[in-house]
Amino acid sequence: MPILPKLPATIAYGGDYNPEQWPESVWLEDMRLMREAGVNLVSLGIFSWAKVQPDEATYNFDWLDRVMDLLTQSGILVCLATVTASPPPWMSVKYPDVLPVDANGVTLYHGSRQHYSPSSPSYRRFAAQLVRKLAERYRNHPALAAWHVNNEYACHTSECHSASSTVTFRAWLRQKYGTIGNLNAAWGTAFWSQVYGDWDEILTPRRAPHDRNPTQQLDFKRFTSDAFLQLYQMEKAILNELTPGVPVTTNLVWFIRAIDARSWAPEMDFIAWDCYPDPLTGHAAEHFAAAGHDIMRSLKKNQPFMLIEQAPSAVTWRQINPPKPPGVMRLWSLQALARGADGVMFFQWRASISGAEKYITGMIGHGDPAQSRVFAEIKALGAELKKLSNLTGTVVHSRVAVVFDWQVCWAIELEAKPARIDYSGWTQELHRHFYERNIPVDFVHPDAELDQYDLVVAPALYLLRKQDAENLKLFVSCGGTLLATYFSGIVDENEQIVLGGYPGHLRELLGVRIEEWIPLGEGQTNSVRFTGNGAVTTSREWSEVVHLEGAKALAHYEDDFYAGSPALTENVFGKGKAFYLSTKLDELGLAEILKLVILRAGVVPVLETPTIASSFQGGT
C-alpha cells in the first residue's frame, strides 16, 4: 500500500510551502521552480491561521483556493495543514484560557508560535471549527493528497499547568485510578505527607520547594502525551468524517520527550517525522538520523514512513549552524530512503525574508535560484528520485530489536537517582554498533511480539512491568538471545521499587542479583577483564556489585572494593541465552560484547563489506 494513494509508485518530494508570506506574483514563480525541481507534494498552510481566520467571525479561504488551484495546474499535490499550529493573536486576547502556563505559573504569550494549552476549551473549540471548515471546503479538491495535522506537537510547549490543564489532569487521574485511595497508593503519598483527601487537592506538578513526587510527575507526562493526542484525535475524527480515505498524519520529532510516539502511531495513517542532524557532528549526525529513521519506521511495521522535514542546508536554532556541504543533502535523503522512507520533504520551499526563521536555508534561497548551489542540488535530487520510484513500498526486515520505551525515558530522567542516566544516548550508542556493522535494527516496546527477532538488546530497562518481563522471558526461553544492561527492572509502572532484590522481575531470566550500584564520576574508570581471552577493557559511568544466581561470569571488574564482581554475565534460560552487562564499556569492549551476542544469535549484516565511508568530510 502506498502511503499516499494519490501518489502511488512515486517518491514524495517537496517541502513546507508558506505562500502567505509572499505576494501572489511570487507564487507563479514558485510553480515554475517547483516543476523545475521535480516537486510533487507540498505541506501547505501550516502557520496560516491568522490569514485564514483574521477575526473570530471571518474566514478567508480565497487566497488558499487560488494556491490550491495553482498547484493543481502545476501537477503538484498537497499535504494540507489543518492550520491549527499557531493561533492568531485575537484569540488569546479574547480567550486567555488558550494560553499555556509553565511549571512556575508563568503564562506563555502569543508573539511566537505554539502558544496554546492542549486542554484549553477555547482553543479546542476554534480548532475544531476551523478544521471542519477546511475539510468541507477542500474535501473534493483534486490537489488534496493528505492532511498534516497541527505541527510538531509539544515541541515548544511541552506541558501546561493552566487552570484547564489542572482540571483535565484531575479528570484523567480519576479515570485512571477510580478512587483517591488508589491514587494515594500508586503515588506513594505516605512519603512526605502528600496524602490527598479529595481530587480537587491535586495539582499538576508545579514548582515546589524540593523534588516533586515522581509518580505524580510520571502520570503528568502520560497525561500530557494523551492531552496532545486527544487534540490530534479530535481533528482526525473531523477529517475522517468529511474526507474518508484521505490519509491523516502529523510530523513527529522522536526525541521530543513529551510525546509517547508509540501510543500515537496507531492514530497516524502513516508515520512522518522531522529529521535535523547537526552537520557539525559529522558521522555522528549520520548515525543520529539512522537511529531516528529506525525508531520512526518501527512505529508502523511493514509500512514506509515519510521524512516530512529536513533542512535543505542550514538551520538557526543551534549555537553554530553551518550549511550541509555539497552532496550531503543528497546523501542524507538517500539514507532515509534506504531505511524505509517513501518521501523526502524539506522545511521550507522558499526562505523567508522576515521572522525568526529567515536564516534557515530554503530550497529556494534569497538570491537567484539559477545561481544557487543548494537549488542545483535540490533539482538534481528531484530528477534522481524519479529514477528511484521502484523503491516505494519496500520495507526493512530486521532480525535485531533494540528496546526503546518513552515511559522508561520519562521515569529514568526524573530527578533523585543514583546518577543521571542518558537513556536515549545509551540506546543510540548500542544501536550504533549495529548501524556500523550494516545490521538492520527495529526499535520495539518491551511488550512487542518478539518471535521474529533473533537478538533483542534492552538498554537500562529501568521501569518494567511484570508482564513485559514475562514477554522477554518467553523470547529467551524459545531460543532468543537477549542482552540486557545495568539499572534494569528496578521500578514498576508506578515508579515504585520492585522489592526482593534487583533487577526485580528480570532476576530469574538473567540469573543474577545486583546488590549495589556504583555510579562512576567524570573520568573515573574501572578495569574489566574478559574471562575467556584475558583482554582488559575499561568501564565508565556506572558499575554494579553483581552476584551470580545461575549465570556464568564472562568478565569481571578488577579494581575498587568490588573487584571480582562480574561485569558481564551469560545465563541459559530455556532454549535461549540472556546476557547482562552491568556497566558501560569503552568502544572496543562494547564492540567485543556485541560481536559475541551477534554471533550467538546468528545475525548477519545486509552488506558484508565494511560500512562504506560517506562522502561527508565535516566534523569528527
Residues binding ligand GLA (CB under 6 A): 151-152, 251, 274, 309, 315, 347, 357, 360
Shortest Å, Cβ 346 to ligand GLA: 10
Shortest Å, Cβ 212 to ligand GLA: 14
Q: Which is nearer to ligand GLA, 223 or 273 (CB)?
A: 273
Shortest Å, Cβ 362 to ligand GLA: 11
Nearest to 165 by CA among 133, 191, 203: 203
Q: Which of 152, 159, 235, 541 is catalytic?
A: 152
Contact predicate 23/97, CB 8 Å: no
Nearest to 135 by CA among 267, 2, 46, 244: 244
Contact predicate 480/446, CB 8 Å: no
Q: Which is nearer to ligand GLA, 274 or 592 (CB)?
A: 274
Nearest to 531 by CA among 562, 564, 565, 555: 555
| Cell digits of residue 177 | 485510578
Q: Which residue has the cell 502567505?
A: 20
CA–CA dist 532, 535 (Å, integer): 8
Q: Which of 159, 286, 309, 570 is catalytic?
A: 309
Query: How many alpha carbons lie under 13 Å from residue 437 in its C-beta half-sphere?
Result: 18
Secondary structure in 3-state letters for 561-586:
CCCCCEEEEEEEECCEEEEEECCEEC
Amino acid 74 reads: S
Contact predicate 56/386, CB 8 Å: no
Q: Which is nearer to ligand GLA, 152 or 269 (CB)?
A: 152
Q: Which is nearer to ligand GLA, 313 or 471 (CB)?
A: 313
Q: Which is nearer to ligand GLA, 357 or 492 (CB)?
A: 357
Cα 428 to Cα 50, 281, 436, 458, distances in angstroms: 40, 15, 12, 11
Amino acid 23 reads: P
| Cell digits of residue 397 | 526486515
CA–CA dist 418, 125 (Å, integer): 45
Shortest Å, Cβ 47 to ligand GLA: 7
Shortest Å, Cβ 276 to ligand GLA: 6
Shortest Å, Cβ 348 to ligand GLA: 7
Q: Which is nearer to ligand GLA, 273 or 557 (CB)?
A: 273
How would you classify residue 154: left for phi > 0, otherwise alpha for psi between -120 and 50, otherwise beta?
left
267 in active site: no
Catalytic machinery residues: 152, 309
